[in-house]
């Protein structure tokens, strides 16, 4: 086995990344992963130790990446910061072209972000005054290349030989620049994870120099999250000076033990039902406590009760903020569902149901429960599925077995909910949900499914594959009921087209032929009746409604004449006058090119009774038997 040098191992990984363009790898893909882990280039994913991710800000990695860039561009790194960042952009463009991914914006963005920070550090080590460049850059002249200047600078900040005073100056000056304030927040919060000692020294120095609690809050959050739990005492001193900022800090720290959770929960204070800024931070703190793995069951229950009080008593704007926090909470589905009902009772803002279940819910029972509650309040075929279809689709994609079971359960409550069952089947994004009706174990449930589907006013051709398997039901009553309903449909509504569809779906066995026979007889009866009606002139509309057709054609010719006069008067319809239809399947405007006509076609099967006698048909849909 060939022995690779350290440089060769890193270089080979860079080549692998450029080719694969992914952030995560298995250990099998990288035989020398042990060396790369020891050099801080790779690290194991917590959820799966066999998976590896790379550290984009690794100096050992980016040193080799810079070598690759210089070799590919055939030039050395410029000594000017702006030109150096343009050098990086040229390198990224070259990679996209070489690996045929020019249309993928972020193909190499993670690696390139790390390279930007490393290049700044390299220029600093070569004598360039990076600090002055960053502090004094003209915002209007920075351009795209320098868009992430502050962020990448902070990522490598611990490698700069700056004193606490210089660190403080950089953060303070950039903090006071509103356009760059966000980068400072991120930089201060992440600093303890990169160098805990320097972060503590910076906090000590800053405490002596300023009273800017908001700026220090980011550093306090970062320090606590890195295990400096004693810093909580300093955080508590902010209460009274700035309660909103105080709660903001507590809502973002990752509590390390149950004692800190309990103590912080007591700092919540009275709920602010009318102060939206304070209520916002109180709700975020409740969310943080519920999510934290060190929170006790009692504390979480108390937090949910506070949310209930917010929803019952808060102002409308506060209700929306609190509900947003509830929406984005993972897990706790029963508690979230109960809170949804409180919110709906207070606001009547039912549109939130549409996406409420499709974000972080895993159990479809909740969307079916609320759908049935709404439907039972007014059981009507015109019941709209708009509020529930997103949730049902989500569960069909993520938990299909349980969702199918709940759809089938709708056929266990008689024809009233059977109608809802069919409407639910049609909420699929394309087509219908392919539920297995043979999983219904009782004869009355299978019969309800057949009745509900056969009563549906349209798209029977899509539903037919769902009920045909019931011809093999172990219950004779079900088989006979299906046969009877299909024969009725063939005779009364869909005739030859339905018969042919059924015939195509059946096999050539004796049982299927026996099943088809009465359906064929129904078609024969229809043909005989049709022939009889056609022989009676009084029933022939071509004979007894001729005067109406003559009137229709006269009115049509009159309307066309009016339209032509309108065209001649110079309306926008002149374009139609100058449009020529060529051979009936193409068209041409004036002297332009001949263009083919596009064919757009949509078909749907509709039960004839739904338009022959719509009132009676809808009444039958809405009766339970």
Segment 438-446 shows an average pLDDT of: 95
- CA dihedral sign of residues 467, 468, 471, 477: positive
Q: 52: part of which helix (H) or strand (E)? A: strand 48-54
d(CA 101, CA 308): 50
Reply yes or no on whether the pLDDT at 577 is more than 60: no
Q: Count CA atoms within 13 Å of residue 300 on its CB side.
A: 14
d(CA 424, CA 371): 10
Segment 609-621 shows an average pLDDT of: 75
Reply yes or no on whether the pLDDT at 48 is more than 70: yes
Reply yes or no on whether the pLDDT at 623 is more than 70: no
Q: What is the pLDDT of residues 387-425, one digit of tens each?
A: 999 999 999 999 999 999 999 999 998 888 999 999 999
Q: What is the pLDDT of residues 353-372, one digit of tens each?
A: 999 999 889 999 999 999 99
pLDDT of residue 545: 73
- Strand-by-strand arrangement of the 595-596 sheet: 579-582, 586-589, 595-596
**Cβ distance 160 to 124 under 8 Å?**
yes
d(CA 3, CA 32): 10
Instruction: Look up residue 65 and give its two tokens.
Output: 């990446």
pLDDT of residue 420: 94
pLDDT of residue 588: 63
Counting residues of the chain whose pLDDT is more than 70, the rounded percentage is 92
Segment 549-574 shows an average pLDDT of: 71
User: Could you tell me which residues come within 8 angstroms of residue 510 by beta carbon, excluding any fewer than 6 positions away?
Assistant: none
Segment 461-488 shows an average pLDDT of: 95
**Cβ distance 587 to 578 under 8 Å?**
no
d(CA 208, CA 547): 101
User: Could you tell me which residues come within 8 angstroms of residue 140 by beta carbon, excluding any fewer than 6 positions away?
Assistant: none
Return the beta strands (E) in 333-436 as ranges: none
What 8-state DSSP symbol labels residue 148? T
d(CA 186, CA 408): 51
Phi, psi dihedral angles at 268 (to 5 degrees): -60, -40
Which of these ranges, 118-122, 309-313, 428-432, has the smallest mean pLDDT?
Answer: 428-432
Counting residues of the chain whose pLDDT is more than 90, the rounded percentage is 64
DSSP one-letter string for 286-337: HHHHHH-TT--HHHHHHHHHHHHHHHHHS-HHHHHHHHHHHHT--S-HHHHH
Reply yes or no on whether the pLDDT at 326 is more than 60: yes
Q: What is the gyration radius of the CA atoms in the chain, in angstroms?
A: 36
d(CA 618, CA 455): 10
């Amino acid at each position: 086995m060939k022995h690779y040098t350290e440089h060769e191992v890193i270089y080979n990984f860079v080549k692998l990344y450029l080719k694969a363009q992914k952030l995560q790898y298995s250990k099998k893909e990288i035989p020398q992963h042990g060396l790369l882990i020891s050099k801080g280039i790779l690290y194991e994913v917590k959820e799966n130790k066999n998976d590896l991710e790379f550290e984009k800000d690794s100096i050992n990695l980016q040193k080799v990446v810079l070598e690759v860039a210089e070799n590919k561009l055939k030039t050395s790194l410029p000594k000017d910061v702006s030109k150096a960042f343009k050098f990086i952009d040229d390198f990224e463009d070259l990679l996209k072209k070489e690996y045929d991914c020019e249309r993928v914006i972020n193909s190499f963005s993670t690696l390139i972000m790390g390279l930007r920070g490393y290049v700044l550090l390299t220029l600093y080590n070569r004598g360039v005054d990076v600090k002055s460049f960053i502090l004094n850059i003209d915002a209007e002249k920075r351009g795209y290349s320098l868009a992430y200047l502050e962020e990448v600078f902070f990522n490598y900040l611990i490698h700069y030989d700056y004193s606490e005073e210089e660190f403080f100056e950089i953060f303070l000056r950039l903090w006071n620049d509103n356009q760059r304030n966000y980068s400072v927040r991120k930089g201060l919060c992440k600093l303890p994870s990169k160098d805990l000692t320097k972060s503590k020294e910076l906090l000590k120095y800053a405490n002596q120099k300023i009273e800017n609690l908001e700026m220090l809050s980011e550093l306090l959050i970062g320090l606590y999250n890195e295990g400096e739990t004693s810093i909580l005492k300093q955080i508590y001193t902010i209460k009274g000076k700035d309660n909103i900022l105080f709660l903001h800090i507590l809502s973002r720290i990752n509590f390390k033990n149950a004692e800190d959770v309990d103590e912080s929960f007591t700092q919540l204070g009275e709920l602010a039902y009318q102060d939206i800024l304070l209520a916002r931070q109180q709700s975020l703190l409740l969310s943080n406590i519920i999510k934290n793995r060190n929170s006790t069951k009692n504390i979480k229950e108390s937090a949910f009760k506070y949310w209930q009080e917010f929803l019952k008593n808060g102002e409308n704007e506060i209700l929306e903020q609190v509900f947003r926090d509830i929406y984005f909470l993972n897990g706790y589905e029963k508690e979230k569902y109960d809170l949804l009902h409180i919110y709906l009772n207070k606001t009547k803002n039912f549109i939130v149901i549409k996406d409420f279940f499709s974000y972080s819910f895993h159990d479809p029972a909740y969307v079916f429960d609320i759908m049935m509650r709404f439907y039972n309040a007014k059981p009507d075929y015109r019941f709209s599925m708009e509020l529930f279809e997103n949730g049902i689709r989500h569960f069909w994609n993520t938990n299909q077995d349980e969702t199918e079971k709940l759809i089938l359960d709708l056929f266990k409550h008689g024809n009233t909910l059977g109608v809802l069952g069919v409407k639910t089947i049609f909420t699929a994004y394309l087509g219908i949900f392919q539920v297995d009706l043979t999983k219904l174990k009782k004869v009355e449930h299978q019969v309800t499914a057949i009745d509900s589907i056969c009563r549906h006013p349209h798209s029977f051709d899509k539903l037919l594959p769902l009920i045909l398997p019931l011809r093999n039901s172990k219950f004779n009553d079900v088989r006979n009921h299906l046969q009877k309903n299909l024969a009725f449909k063939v005779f009364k509504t869909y005739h030859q087209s339905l018969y042919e569809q059924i015939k195509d779906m059946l096999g050539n066995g004796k049982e299927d032929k026996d099943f088809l026979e009465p359906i064929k007889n129904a078609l024969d009866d229809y043909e005989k009746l049709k022939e009889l009606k056609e022989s009676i002139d009084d029933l022939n509309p071509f004979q007894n409604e001729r005067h109406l057709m003559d009137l229709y054609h006269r009115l049509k010719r009159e309307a066309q004449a009016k339209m032509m006069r309108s065209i001649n008067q110079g309306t926008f319809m002149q374009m139609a006058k100058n449009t020529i239809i060529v051979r009936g399947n193409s068209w041409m405007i004036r002297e332009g090119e001949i263009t083919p006509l596009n064919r757009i076609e949509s078909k749907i099967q509709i039960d004839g009774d739904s338009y022959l006698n719509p009132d009676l048909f809808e009444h039958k849909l809405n009766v339970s038997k």
